[in-house]
Amino acid sequence: MEGQFTKLNESFTCLNCGKFVEKDLNGSSRNHCNFCLCSLHLDITPGDRLSQCHGLMFPIDIISIGGKNIIFHKCSRCNIIKKNKALIDDNLMYFYEN
């Protein structure tokens, strides 16, 4: 059973590209690198940090719904697919160029 969303907005160093990623200044929960768009599979329910996987998650698709961009990530270890809202400072062009 999934738990309740836990809001976390933390700075981190991306394990894929090595860049330092600042927490979101608009108050959203940042869970992926705004440079290369990669994430880590840390959560079962957003913010709970209960996943045992810890695999690197790569962006596999970006869609727009109602004017908002959604990034789909696939875990390189367990193959789970999760969606995350794109933030205003995300480099979405990186996805289309690579």
User: What are the residue ranges spanned by the domains of the chain?
Assistant: 12-97
Q: Tokens 């869609």 correspond to what residue?
A: 63
If you average pLDDT over residues 5-30, what whole number do you get?
83
Give per-residue pLDDT as tens, 8-19: 678 899 999 999
Find the helix or strand (DSSP H, E) in which 48 lies. none
Question: Which pLDDT score, from 0 to 100, does residue 1 have?
Answer: 43
Under the banding of pLDDT at 50, 70 and 90, the label for residue 77 is: very high
The reported pLDDT for the residue numbered 91 is 95
Q: What angle do CA 76, 79, 84 make, to 5 degrees?
A: 85
pTM over 0.95: no
